[in-house]
Amino acid sequence: MHSDSSGLSALVNDCYQCGKCTAGCPLAAQMDIVPSQLVRLAQAGQVERATRAESIWLCVSCQTCTTRCPQSVDVAGVIDALREQSAQDGTVAKTQRRTAIFQQVFLDNIRRHGRLNELELVGAFKTQAFLKDLSIPLLMKDALLAPQMMKRDKLHFAGKPARDRQVVDRIFAKCAEAKV
Ligand code: SF4
Ligand code: SF4
């Protein structure tokens, strides 16, 4: 996915603002700027405004918008690119900073281990979010849940090794290639 603004314009050229993407989006009612409006902003060259939207971090990448589009615009892909641009430019909406941090540490974790190492994920997220907000309650939040989760085998001290690490490496390499 191209994340520069010229790449984005090319992706959204064919949109004629029918609104089908927004009509099918399960999160549209919670969004400050709905999918068809994000596409319109990208068309109009107002990418920075789109990268400041809260909605790009609410999107759950369900792909409904992309599959409904009569013009084959990859709306979900456009939103992915807006998230990347937003993180890169430091324009993440204040209310969504923790979401952006979580997504980043999650991806770093998978890239490093091939599968999720839960304790490392929690540690990295809490540390980075704390450094951003200096919020002690955030640092301590959920700590009491850890023993329960371990008892139910939902949280592990050591991460389990990935079965086929090379597959994950190839996925990350392909994504990096697609960005060039
Ligand atoms: S469904 Fe496609 S053509 Fe219609 S508004 Fe969304 S992106 Fe544009
Ligand atoms: S991919 Fe995102 S924007 Fe598209 S329908 Fe799903 S939640 Fe909405």
Are 47 and 85 in contact, with CB atoms under 8 Å apart?
yes
Same domain, 79 and 102: no
Pocket flag, ligand 2, residue 64 (CB < 6 Å): yes
Q: State in Å: Cα 70 to ligand 1 middle.
A: 7
Same domain, 84 and 116: no
Q: State in Å: Cα 144 to ligand 2 middle.
A: 34
Give 122's pLDDT tier (boundaries 50, 70, 90): confident
Cα dihedral 116, 31, 132, 176 sign: positive
Same domain, 154 and 129: yes
Of the CA atoms within 13 Å of residue 154, those in its CB half-sphere come to: 8
Same domain, 65 and 134: no
* Whether the predicted pLDDT of 109 surpasses 60: yes
Give 38's pLDDT tier (boundaries 50, 70, 90): very high
Give 134's pLDDT tier (boundaries 50, 70, 90): low
Pocket flag, ligand 2, residue 30 (CB < 6 Å): no
CA pair distance 148, 140, nearest whole angstrom: 16
Residue 35 lies in domain: 5-89
Same domain, 85 and 114: no
- Return the amino acid letter for 2: H
Give 180's pLDDT tier (boundaries 50, 70, 90): low
